[in-house]
Structure 1
Amino acid sequence: MSLPVNIDEYSRLVVLDDNELQAQNVAVSVRERLQRLRGIYAYWLQFPSKFDKEIVDYDMKKFKVGRAQAYDDLHLTQILMGNLQQASKEFMRWKINRDLEEDLRLARQRGDLRAAASIEKNRIMNNRTDKDDEPELEFDKIVPQQFEMTDDPTVIGIQKVPGLRDRIRKLEKKYGDTKIEDADYEEIKEEHDGNGTGS
């Protein structure tokens, strides 16, 4: 799980170019994350109908980050620069509501209560006031997968070698004793000639 970030600090830094960031001695990890956020936002502007998962996949592929980090990047991008999908949905709801208001006004002028009731029903469906609000995704609660060390080769599809552990134990017993024992030795004396050099 990534560490909490200072949103105000990121909102100040995200508009600075790389030279300004270096001049302010911004940490390399923060500069790299800012590049990822800008990359995600540029991609999102180019393809505003992309879903969160597609943007996360883009972040992972383009910037070689893990899934949890990519979701965290997306969440921070949405906080700093706004959620494009949410904005476009809100715009469409606003537009439909305006059209429905106009239709409702005309239906009431004509005295068409059936049409007015139908328009009200459509307005309820458009604004989803008949349903509970969808819970916000809690990105900070995404737990990275925990990996356990193992010497079992079958987890990656390699077949076990029969009796391998016994062979390892025997070899460790035979060669594994690393104690240094004193050994007998004989000192070799150099012979010198008359010039003071060895022969």
Structure 2
Amino acid sequence: MTRHARLAVVASGRGRNLQAIQHTIEQGGLDATIVGVFSNRRRAPALAFAADRGLHHFALKPKRFHDRAAFDVALAEAVAAVDPDWVILAGYMRILTPKFIDRFSGRLVNIHPSLLPAYKGLDTHARALAAGETVHGASVHIVTDELDAGPVIRQGYIHTADDDTPETLGERVMSRVEQQIYPAALAELSSGRVVYRDGGIIRDGQPQKEAPNDCYDAD
């Protein structure tokens, strides 16, 4: 898509990637507008940030629905109402069902805190440290029905330190990697430089064989 992109962001927590995306928009690095921020938690700091920026925001309580699929149908309806080009998962802490994923097939983007395909799922920082990894990072990918298995658009990494804990490593991955590569990947998608087609990524008109993977160690 080459037009000014409409982004709907779905978040559960602090919304630090949401903040990075909005900051990039405000600085002119991403030709887009966040047309809505949605959450499963009414008191999510991400919603407070949206309110502070004057962005449309909306929360749904999962307990009001008889199962996960029913909740996802309602959430999808709320998101679809703002007519997004892209639906952006930014720290959304629920596993989506096909009821939501299929509604936005090919337009649903997530960031995962590992260098996929390594360490799908939870506790990625602890698992990377336990395995003795010397580098660790994050991946922006298209969401498919298989968890953390959609094609990767862009990655970034840092080197681990001998005294790292899951918390210190996670903080550095968030601040140095995630908040850099997520806006960058969205800019590529919204400009049309990167396209999701036939289950893969097309970059600059050619099938992407390997996602860009840049180092974000501090100078």
Give TM-score, length-normalised by structure 1: 0.27
Higher strand fraction (1 or 2): 2
Structure scoring higher RCO (CA < 8 A, sep ≥ 6) equals 2
Give TM-score, length-normalised by structure 2: 0.25
Higher helix fraction (1 or 2): 1
Please identify the structure whose Cα radius of gyration is greater: 1
